[in-house]
Amino acid sequence: MNNIDKGLQKSVINWFPGHMAKTRRELKENLSLIDIVYEVIDARMPISSKIADINDLIKNKLKILIVSKYDLCDKQKTDIILNIYEKEGYIVIPVELLSNNNLSIVIKKTTELLTDINNTRIKKGLKPRIARALIIGVPNVGKSTLINRLVGKNAVKTGNTPGVTKSISWIRINKDIELMDTPGILWPKIEVAEHGYNLAALSSIKEEILNNEDLCNYIIDKMLELYPSNFNERYDINTTNKEEIYIAIAKKRGLLSKGGMPDYEKVYLTVIRDLKDGYLGKITFDR
């Protein structure tokens, strides 16, 4: 356990609203309709954003692990984790949603799996049919953007906050693939505090349930531990003292209150937004 996780053990984040429990029930009810599962994870937190009990949810269904926001991560660190997933038997496809990079591979791999499925159906005397794929992931992991890129138009609503997709729906990707879209889900208890804070820092947990000071402190600690040059370059600072950091950011961004003291709440929100918007560079918080 590292120093950050030791400091967070008393502050484990759990956010499991009623619609997530409902989505889980509906997934189990509709699982018999599904051939292939697209599990989407965030490249910046490829461990934290992986649904902890995914195998209990989807049982033995064929699955493709789609790694979204690959253009925003520290690829050297993320690839170490992705290589482990591949060794565990996952089909792993990193995608850059802004450039559509590797999206064609998702379709190709799905078609290959569908061919195997239909060959089995033919042997049983059944007719071939289109693939029914389930797309699943934590909130704000990029599922809706991925779907729109695969369809080639804005088929579903997107947003930079969790909870945009409200219910299960079916979407036709092409003549061979039909997709079941689901709201983002978490699991009832996040066992590792650091995973919860990573999810919160990168928009998979609603900000309203968090203390902005705690989250900001976590981000600062994480950046100074893993990417100090990124952090120092962004705010033109060279210190690890929190109070000095707050003062420096407040002065640089004009976030001073009356009397020349930092407006701390605005500083907290600035750091949180800068991370989410990519201004702190390409980062991977999981190791």
Q: What is the pLDDT of residue 137?
A: 93
Mean pLDDT, the chain, rounded, equals: 86
Helix locations, 227-279, DSSP H: 228-235, 242-253, 264-276
What gap in Å lies between CA 204 and CA 29, rounded to an integer? 25
Q: Token pair 């962004």 is at which residue?
A: 234
Q: Is the pLDDT of residue 238 over 60?
A: yes
Q: Could you report the per-residue pLDDT of 104-154, keeping only the tens digit for each?
A: 899 999 999 988 888 988 999 988 888 899 999 998 898 888 888 888 765
CATH number of 17-181: 3.40.50.300
Q: What is the pLDDT of residue 167?
A: 63
Window from 106-120, 150-164, 248-262, 264-278 with minimum mean pLDDT = 150-164
pLDDT for position 147: 87
Q: How far apart are CA 83 and CA 212, in angstroms?
A: 34
Q: For 196-202, what is the mean pLDDT?
A: 91
**What pLDDT was estimated at residue 193?**
86
pLDDT digits (tens, 9 = 90+) for 5-31: 444 444 455 665 667 778 888 888 889
Structural domain boundaries in the chain: 17-181, 193-276
Mean predicted confidence (pLDDT) in 224-244: 94
Q: How far apart are CA 179 and CA 35, in angstroms?
A: 10
pLDDT of residue 9: 45
Strand order in the sheet with 177-181: 91-94, 62-68, 36-42, 131-137, 177-181, 169-174
> Is the confidence at residue 59, as pLDDT, over 50?
yes
Q: What is the pLDDT of residue 14?
A: 62
Closest CA to 252 of 262, 265, 241, 243: 262
Total H helices, total E strands in the chain: 11, 6
Taking 70 as the threshold, does the pLDDT of residue 54 lie above it? Answer: yes
Unique residue bearing structure tokens 């053990």: 9
Q: What is the pLDDT of residues 69-101, one digit of tens each?
A: 999 999 999 999 999 999 999 999 999 877 777
Question: Can you give the pLDDT at residue 3?
Answer: 47
Q: What are phi and psi of 179, to 5 degrees?
A: -120, 130
Instruction: Tell me the mean pLDDT in the region 42-69.
Output: 93
Phi, psi of 165, deg, nearest 5: -80, 125
CATH number of the domain at 193-276, please? 1.10.1580.10
* Strand ranges, E, within the chain: 36-42, 62-68, 91-94, 131-137, 169-174, 177-181
